[in-house]
Amino acid sequence: MKKNVLYAQSGGVTTVINCSMYGVIKAAMRSEKIDRVFGAKNGVSGLLQEELVDLSKESQETIEMLKYTPSAALGSCRRKLKSEDDFNRLFDVFKAHNIGYFLYNGGNDSMDTAMKIHKKAQEIGYDLKVIGIPKTVDNDLMFTDHCPGYPSSAKYTALSIFEATLDVKAMSHDSTKVFVMESMGRHAGWIAASSALLKNSDDEGPHIILFPERIFNKDRFLSKVEDVVRRFGYCSIVVSEGIKDENGNFVSDTGMVDNFGNKQLGGVGFQISNIIKNDLNLKVHTALPDYLQRSSRHISSLVDVQEAIAVGMKAVEFALNGESGYMVTIERLSNEPYIWTVGKVELDKVANKTRELPDDFIDEEGFMVTDKFREYALPLIQGEDNIDRWKVPNHYSRLHWNMVEKKLPKF
C-alpha cells in the first residue's frame, strides 16, 4: 500500500533549507511507493495541531522557486516534544494521514526530536521510517563533513568582512580605526572562522577573530588590537556571539533562555567595541548582521545549493529503502578537486551533540584560523546559483497552503 511522506522544518533557518525541501518533493513525487507529500506547518508545532500542507498540489513554479527562496517556506519552530501526550498525539496524526515516512530538517535539537520519534515508532510497532536532514549555519553537527546552510553563511561572512575592512581602512586616517562584526555561532566558531576565507596577507581583514573555543582574555585581546592598529593603522575584528570569559560566562549574557534551554545571546559585538573605546580610546564601528547572515540567498554558494538538494533527495531514498533512525551526512571524498557524496549516521550519535572547531583549525595565538581550516572551507563556498529578483516574476516561492483536511479532534 502506498504511504504518504511528511516533511518538516525546524530551528533557525538557512539560505538553502528550502533547497532540501525541493529535493524531498522532487524525489518523493517520482516514487511509486509514495502517494502524497505532506509538509507540516511550523515543524512539530503544526504537526501536533494536524496542520498539514499537501505539497503534491503545489504548482511546478512554486516548487522550482524553492531553490531561490531563503528561510523555511513551511515555517519553522523551536517547540520541543515534552510529554508522552505529545508523542501519542504525533502518532495519532501519522496514523490518521497514513504517514509512512517522516523527514525532519533541522539541527542537533531537531535530530534529538527525530530520534525520539524513531524510537517511539519502534516501541509501539508503527511502521515509520524516520530520517533527519541536516541543516544549520552553525555547522556544529557531528559525523557530517559540514552542514547545508553553513557554506552560504560562510561566504556571506567572508565577503562582508572583506568589504567592510576596505571601508575602515579608508576611514582610518582621521576617523574610524576599528571595525567589529558580530557573527552567529552559539557554541562553535565555524562562522567566525569563515570570515578569514578571503584573507591572503597580514594586512587584510579580519585581523582578529574571537572564537568561542578560546577563552576571552581582555588584556591579551586589547594588546593584540593595539598591535594591529600600530602596524596597519586600523583593525578589523570578527567576534562570535558565543565567546566566554575565564569563568565560563558568556561575554554577552542577556539571561534569557529559549525552549531548549539555550541562552539567548546578542550584543557581544557592542561589548567588545565598548571595551576598545574605553580602554584604547579609538573610534569603533560595529556591525551586527543578525538574520542577514543566515538568509542572504543572494550570495549562497553553488556547492551549498547542490548539497542541500542532494541531502533532501537522499533522505527520501533512504526512507524508501526501509532505513530509519538516520541523519543524512555529507562525505568529502577529495579536496582538490572537491568531490563529495552523501552518507548517513545514526541519529543518536548526532542528537544534542555539538562539534566545535578542531584545535588545528585555530592558530597558536588563538586569534586566527590555520591553513588547514582554509583547505577545509574554501571548496564549500565556490560558485553561485542566483537569480535577479528584479528580472524574474514571482521570484520566490509562495506556497498556496493547500491544507490537508483535519481528521482528529483539537489537541
Query: Rounded to whole angstroms, how far apart are CA atoms 54 and 57?
Result: 6
Q: Is 198 an interacting residue with respect to a second copy (CB under 8 A)?
A: yes
Which SS3 state, helix, strand or coil, does residue 208 take?
strand
CA angle centred on 78, ends 351 and 402, rounded to 5°: 110
Which SS3 state, helix, strand or coil, does residue 289 take?
coil
Is the CB of 42 or the CB of 144 nearer to a second copy? 42
Q: Is 390 an interacting residue with respect to a second copy (CB under 8 A)?
A: yes
Q: Is 388 an interacting residue with respect to a second copy (CB under 8 A)?
A: yes
Give alpha helix (H) positions in 186-252.
190-194, 218-232
Contact characters 46-65, a second copy, x per CB under 8 A: x-------------------
Is the CB of 189 or the CB of 289 nearer to a second copy? 289
Q: Is 88 an interacting residue with respect to a second copy (CB under 8 A)?
A: no
Contact 109, 11 (CB under 8 A): yes
Q: Is 125 an interacting residue with respect to a second copy (CB under 8 A)?
A: no
CA-based torsion, 323, 325, 329, 333: positive or negative? negative
Dihedral, 69, 293, 350, 342 alpha carbons, nearest 10 = 50
Q: Which residues pair with 130 in a beta bridge?
A: 102
Q: Is 175 an interacting residue with respect to a second copy (CB under 8 A)?
A: yes
Query: Rounded to whole angstroms, how far apart are CA atoms 99 and 94?
Result: 5
Question: Which of these segments, 102-110, 369-377, 388-396, 399-407, binds a second copy (CB under 8 A)?
Answer: 388-396
Measured from the Cβ of residue 214, the count of other Cβ atoms closer than 10 Å reads 18
138 assigned to active site:
yes
Q: How far is the CB of 32 from a second copy (least distance, A)?
A: 32
- According to CB under 8 A, which one of 121, 164, 237, 265 is a site residue for a second copy? 164
Q: Is 144 an interacting residue with respect to a second copy (CB under 8 A)?
A: no
Query: Rounded to whole angstroms, how far apart are CA atoms 331 and 11?
Result: 23
- According to CB under 8 A, which one of 142, 215, 280, 299 is a site residue for a second copy? 299
Q: Is 401 an interacting residue with respect to a second copy (CB under 8 A)?
A: no
Segment 82-89 long-range contacts (CB within 8 Å, at least 24 positions apart): 86/44, 86/48, 87/116, 87/117, 87/120, 89/48, 89/411
Q: Is 73 an interacting residue with respect to a second copy (CB under 8 A)?
A: yes
Contact characters 6-45, a second copy, x per CB under 8 A: ---x--xx-x-------------------------xx--x
Q: Is 348 an interacting residue with respect to a second copy (CB under 8 A)?
A: no
| Inter-CA distances, 169 with 147, 232, 240, Å | 33, 9, 22
- According to CB under 8 A, which one of 297, 314, 344, 355 is a site residue for a second copy? 297
Catalytic residue among 54, 109, 112, 138: 138
Is the CB of 343 or the CB of 383 nearer to a second copy? 383
Question: Which of these segments, 136-144, 238-246, 357-365, 384-392, binds a second copy (CB under 8 A)?
Answer: 384-392
Q: Is 294 an interacting residue with respect to a second copy (CB under 8 A)?
A: yes
Query: Rounded to whole angstroms, how far apart are CA atoms 318 and 102?
Result: 11
Q: How far is the CB of 252 from a second copy (least distance, A)?
A: 13
> Position of cell 596597519?
232
Q: How far is the CB of 51 from a second copy (least distance, A)?
A: 10
**Grid cell locating 39:** 509538509
Q: Is 168 an interacting residue with respect to a second copy (CB under 8 A)?
A: yes
Q: Which residues pair with 101 in a beta bridge?
A: 5, 129
Pick the closest to residue 406 from 52, 36, 91 (CA basis). 52
Q: How far is the CB of 295 from a second copy (least distance, A)?
A: 4
Q: Is 392 an interacting residue with respect to a second copy (CB under 8 A)?
A: no
Measured from the Cβ of residue 243, the count of other Cβ atoms closer than 10 Å reads 25
Q: Which residues are catalytic?
A: 138
Q: Which residues bind a second copy (CB under 8 A)?
A: 9, 12-13, 15, 41-42, 45-46, 69-79, 159-160, 162-164, 166-175, 179, 181, 198, 258-259, 266, 285-292, 294-299, 378, 381-384, 388-390, 395-396
